[in-house]
Amino acid sequence: MSYNNTKTTSRFQFGISRNNTAKKAGSNVVTIATLPASGQQYAVGTTQISMTVKEATALQSFLNESLSNDNAVDVQS
């Protein structure tokens, strides 16, 4: 069974492609790509990172832990 999904913001495109029955390398991939934004500070060119779903789950765990309210940092402008 295949599952594909994407989410695009003004600066990034996130994607996931999963195939629960496939055992080949590259069949379960998460991608994060920057989008070109000429005239802005970030993402003038484009870059893409790909990782396995297992690696993405580790990243998710790290982000959930790091971005929780208990670890929030108050930044004053």
- Are 18 and 28 in contact by the 8 Å Cβ rule? The answer is yes
What is the reported pLDDT for 57?
A: 94
pTM above 0.75, yes or no: no
**DSSP H/E element including 66:** helix 53-66
Instruction: Please report the sign of the dihedral spanned by the C-alpha atoms of residue 74, residue 72, residue 62, residue 32.
Output: negative
Summarize the confidence of residues 46-68 as an average pLDDT: 92
More confident residue, 20 or 48: 48
The domain locations on the chain are: 2-65
- Give a three-class secondary structure readout of 1-50: CEEEEEEECCCEEEEEEEECCCCCCCCCEEEEEECCCCCCCCCCCCCEEE
Summarize the confidence of residues 63-76 as an average pLDDT: 74
Per-residue confidence band for 22, with pLDDT thresholds at 50, 70 and 90: low
Summarize the confidence of residues 33-58 as an average pLDDT: 82
State the amino acid at position 77 in one-letter form: S
Whether residue 42 has pLDDT greater than 70: no
